[in-house]
Structure 1
């Protein structure tokens, strides 16, 4: 059973999205509906649905901010009237970006993509590869220190100081990595737990992760601080 949350501040649009989903994906279970970003965040944390259909402009917490706070296993689809946020949406690992008004055909294409992802069980990545000119470079995932989002691409940083620019979004890579080893510490940053050298708590209360082979530490978002309790 695949579960979903839908969030929109207009009740009529909530009803419309739910009906279109019922037609396009009959076996999808809508476990919650939210009228604002604050409510959506609470429900995401509580229910951890497989998919979240999020409006971008909502009271409380906007959809893009909410995406950075969503559980790691929840796939995100943005449903909005505003085209200008598409790049930001994909930077947050969105599966798709739907423009209002929704059409059954367009939603059906999104549903097909989500269902294919849900059915697929890819092997965990062992190597990352990228072309630089006429040369292919490889990086063993065990040697990765951090992965950082760069729009639709991802920067892979090794513990030896090397880096690769991958033509794959961070969201897509996360699905292929071991979540017990690779920890998302911020909406645009994932670190290899074995590469963590130390955690620094600064005077302002913010947490920073220092990694082997990296000069600059990475910040931990408020939503991810719980991972480091007791460390």
Structure 2
């Protein structure tokens, strides 16, 4: 796919690495290399790009500050050594969040996401005859008891070895199931955020520094599940 991009990063070595990776693995046009946000602003006044590789910690203006000045349709791939900005980054049209040092394997995975963002698969068509409504409750077996729990009341599921802890605002149950098995039966707003956690995105209090706050619980967002989680959250960001 012939996409147009620029690199915005104040570290020459990081710029050179990205340039090499782009040349080795894609057919994209690298239109420019900017070493601070002010250079990027001037460049973008004269050139149209499809997306930007954008560092976060830069002089004059940070990458986040620059992202806030860009048109909403401008897509971004953040490149940074700091994981704590990941959740904040998805307030913009973020395709991916690459942590430095960027490896070839991780970059190739990013190229697939980038090209998919510009060539999304066709939407699946369904009919009312084949679409079944999402259940609003399940019966969960805890010990010798089957407990009926409304899905809307569940804050999160937490894996504990061979058990899963189900938490609501008023109670917790231990269920003899694997988290993966539970995940397969759930739909949005439930989303996997960590090897040990599935959360109800409708009941989140806040997202900060790569952590979710829900009820009285602080839950980490792992690199593996971050993008899928933020895709759900991005639909509700103003």
Provide the TM-score with structure 2 as the length reference: 0.52
1:56 paired residue number: 56
On the 8 A contact 1:81/1:100 being kept in 2, the answer is: yes
User: Alpha carbons of 1:131 and 1:118: their partners in 2 closer, same or farther (altered >3 Å)?
Assistant: farther
2:232 paired residue number: 168
Q: Deviations over 1:130-153 (max 9, x none)?
A: 9986689xxxxxxxxxxxxx859x
Q: Which runs of 5+ in 1 are unaligned?
A: 124-129, 137-149, 153-165, 175-187, 190-231
Counterparts of 1:63 and 1:11 in 2: how far apart (Å)? 16
Q: Deviations over 1:64-99 (max 9, x none)?
A: 111111233321111011111111112223111111
2:21 paired residue number: 20
User: Alpha carbons of 1:38 and 1:167: their partners in 2 closer, same or farther (altered >3 Å)?
Assistant: closer
Provide the TM-score with structure 1 as the length reference: 0.53
User: Alpha carbons of 1:105 and 1:35: their partners in 2 closer, same or farther (altered >3 Å)?
Assistant: same
Counterparts of 1:131 and 1:80 in 2: how far apart (Å)? 41
User: Alpha carbons of 1:9 and 1:116: their partners in 2 closer, same or farther (altered >3 Å)?
Assistant: same
On the 8 A contact 1:4/1:53 being kept in 2, the answer is: yes
Secondary structure of the corresponding residue to residue 33 of structure 1: strand
1:86 paired residue number: 86
2:69 paired residue number: 69
Counterparts of 1:95 and 1:4 in 2: how far apart (Å)? 13
Q: Deviations over 1:22-72 (max 9, x none)?
A: 1121x1001111000111122234323111000001112100111111233
On the 8 A contact 2:54/2:79 being kept in 1, the answer is: yes
2:115 paired residue number: 115
Q: Which runs of 5+ in 2 are unaligned?
A: 124-133, 137-149, 153-186, 188-205, 211-229
Please show how residues 1-231 of structure 1 align to structure 2 within 5 Å. Answer: 1-25=2-26, 27-120=27-120, 168-170=232-234, 173=235, 189=238
User: Alpha carbons of 1:95 and 1:167: their partners in 2 closer, same or farther (altered >3 Å)?
Assistant: closer
Larger radius of gyration, structure 1 or 2? Answer: 2
Q: Deviations over 1:167-189 (max 9, x none)?
A: 7243xx59xxxxxxxxxxxxx63
On the 8 A contact 1:6/1:34 being kept in 2, the answer is: yes
How many residues end up aligned between the 2 structures? 144
Range moving further from structure 2, 103-112 or 82-91 = 82-91
